[in-house]
Amino acid sequence: MGVLTNAKLDLVVDPRHDPARAIEDDDEPGQEALDPAVGYRRLVRYLAPQRRELLGLLASRSMSHRQAAEIVGVSPGTISRQLARLRRNLDDPLVRAIAIAPDEVAEADRALVVAHLLGGESINQLAAASRVNAREVSARLNRLRGWSRAVLARHANT
């Protein structure tokens, strides 16, 4: 899928389409090899609601950061930082691997990655919610990162 650029972000939620439909599209697995936007749409459905809203404001309504900031009630700089974080998180190898091969990972592990990278929960918050220590959560994420490298390598070879 490559690096998430502004052009790819525009493909995720095309201004001509309803962002809710783009998020809910049930694309065929492996289809992202033919169309990078398919893989990113699959990732967007896992975003926390406020992150999806931000993406929708900027992409589907063709708003500037300043206009989106006025609607949300924050500074344009905050919008820029949130969008940069959103791009980084969507482009994280672990998130990309889950989008490519969601059935290869246990639901609990998938939920952990989604909550941390797309939902914005810290490792300490995840540890408290699952009643384990933060080291165990970090170890699970590290194991999943190893899995993601294998998935991405396998996908690159197909």
**Which backbone phi and psi does 12 adopt, to 5 degrees?**
-60, -50
102-149 pLDDT tens trace: 889 898 998 899 889 888 889 999 999 989 999 999 999 999 999 999
Residue 99 is encoded by which pair of tokens? 């989008």
**Separation CA 19–CA 12 (nearest Å):** 8
**In-domain check, residue 30:** yes
In whole angstroms, give the CA distance from residue 45 to residue 52: 8
Question: Quick check: is 1 in a domain?
Answer: no
Model pLDDT for residues 11-45, shown as the tens digit of each residue: 444 433 333 333 334 444 444 443 445 556 767 77
- pTM for the whole thing? 0.66
Predicted confidence (pLDDT) at residue 65 exceeds the cutoff of 50: yes
Is residue 110 situated within a structural domain?
A: yes
Tell me the pLDDT of the chain averaged across its residues. 76
> What domain range includes position 83?
6-156
* CB < 8 Å & 24+ apart, contacts of 106-115: 109/140, 109/144, 112/137, 112/140, 112/141, 112/144, 113/141, 113/144, 114/46
Domains held by the chain: number:
1
Is 58 among the domain residues?
A: yes
What pLDDT shows up at residue 26? Answer: 44
For 118, other C-beta atoms within 10 Å of its C-beta total 22
Does any domain span residue 102?
Answer: yes
